[in-house]
Amino acid sequence: MRRDGPWRRPTFFPDRVTRPTILLTGATGQLGYEIARLLPAHGELTALGRSQLDLADVDAIRATVDAIRPQLIVNAAAYTAVDLAERDEPLAEAINARAPAVLAEEAKRLGALLIHFSTDYVFDGLATRPYDEQAPTRPLNAYGRSKLHGEQAIAATGAAAITLRTSWVYARRGRNFLLTMQRLGREREELRIVADQFGVPNWSRQLAEAVAALVAKGLPALAARAGLYHLSGRGQASWFEFAQAIFGTAARPRLVPIESAEYPTPAVRPGFAVLATARLEQAFGIVLPHWRDTLQRCLAAAD
């Protein structure tokens, strides 16, 4: 074999060799959209929205996973219409419970890792201190039941999976409390806001950044610490306090605190749903800022 100069050991490109193949579901949702912007830096990403992958179709899920053969599946898709779920529980179960189970089964078959999102609504809200991962679950509504069933189904498969419970997700797009308040604030002089339900507001971009930080640690490190974790900012707030922080010192609209009984909804919400995050912090060193700091960052963001 001819050599035109001194022989050198071939140079390999670890970024090409070790970059995992990633499948992201729910890519057009408020959380999936943000994740889809970040994960290309960490792998070869296929990001699918609802129109490209119907999670109510088990055969479509299996065929998609089989075609892509991902090493990492990130399931950011969910049925999140909390009140509608009360009359459409079968569809909520299909998307929030059966689909995650199938994704976990496929991940196990391929030796892949699954990252899945769940919710604070798996709890009954009767606690007086933040819920940790070992706290008993007792969802009060169909949405919470479907998400809990998804957690349980994933665990039952034995797949390497990280399930991340979070709460009160808002974004600069989609349908959420932040955008609803901003719209109603332009339309009305007064807003009556529930003040006896407590949780932690979480910006979808901050959550997506945490997911990217997890993936950056490498799939073997995540698989070694697979399990259930709470992912949430620090502090706590009522919906009324969240609204106050959104409007700041603006003179309009006038905000009036009310009790949950004055704003009845088809689905009962937990009165207290703050999540303790020590387990995630200790396992992966990921600490989210106080929710007020994150909100200010969101409000100042260009997009």
Q: Is the Cβ–Cβ distance between 260 and 245 less than 8 Å?
A: no
Treating both helix axes as pointing N-terminal to C-terminal, what angle do 177-187 and 239-247 enclose, rounded to 10 degrees?
Answer: 60
- Tallying the residues shown for the chain, one arrives at 303
Give the CATH number of domain 14-175+202-234+274-288: 3.40.50.720
pLDDT tens-digit profile of 170-179?
999 989 999 9
Can you tell me the distance from the alpha carbon of 111 to that of 130, in angstroms, rounded to the nearest whole number? 34
Question: How confident is the model at residue 13, as a pLDDT?
Answer: 34
Name residues whose C-beta falls within 8 Å of residue 142's C-beta, 6 or more positions apart in sequence: 85, 86, 89, 92, 267
**Single-letter amino acid code for the residue at 207:** L
Q: How far is CA 239 from CA 151, 201, 255, 273, in A?
A: 26, 9, 11, 12
Question: How confident is the model at residue 5, as a pLDDT?
Answer: 41
Q: Which residues pair with 23 in a beta bridge?
A: 46, 73
Confidence of residue 279 (pLDDT cuts 50, 70, 90): very high
With DSSP H G I counted as helix, E B as strand and the rest as coil, what are the percentages for the chain, rounded to 5?
45, 20, 40
pLDDT tens-digit profile of 292-303?
999 999 999 878
| Closest-CA residue to 82 (of 168, 143, 146, 31) | 143
Question: How confident is the model at residue 236, as a pLDDT?
Answer: 96
| Closest-CA residue to 211 (of 119, 303, 75) | 75
| Closest-CA residue to 259 (of 284, 240, 283) | 240
pLDDT tens-digit profile of 175-234?
999 999 999 999 999 999 999 999 999 999 999 999 999 999 999 999 999 999 999 999
- Predicted structure pTM score: 0.90
Q: Is the Cβ–Cβ distance between 55 and 100 less than 8 Å?
A: no
Q: What does the mean pLDDT of the chain come to?
A: 92
| Closest-CA residue to 141 (of 149, 131, 133) | 149
Can you tell me the distance from the alpha carbon of 84 to that of 81, in angstroms, rounded to the nearest whole number? 5
Provide mean pLDDT across the span 22-32.
95
| Closest-CA residue to 153 (of 100, 225, 116, 106) | 100
The pLDDT of residue 7 is above 90: no
* φ/ψ (deg, to 5) at 188: -130, 155
Confidence of residue 160 (pLDDT cuts 50, 70, 90): very high
pLDDT tens-digit profile of 36-45?
999 999 999 9
Looking from the CA of 110 toward its CB, the CA atoms found within 13 Å total 25
Domain-wise residue ranges, the chain: 14-175+202-234+274-288
Q: Is the Cβ–Cβ distance between 141 and 268 less than 8 Å?
A: yes
Strand, coil or helix: 114: strand
Compute the radius of gyration of the chain from its Cα atoms: 21
The pLDDT of residue 12 is above 80: no
Question: How confident is the model at residue 34, as a pLDDT?
Answer: 96
Please list the active-site residues: 143
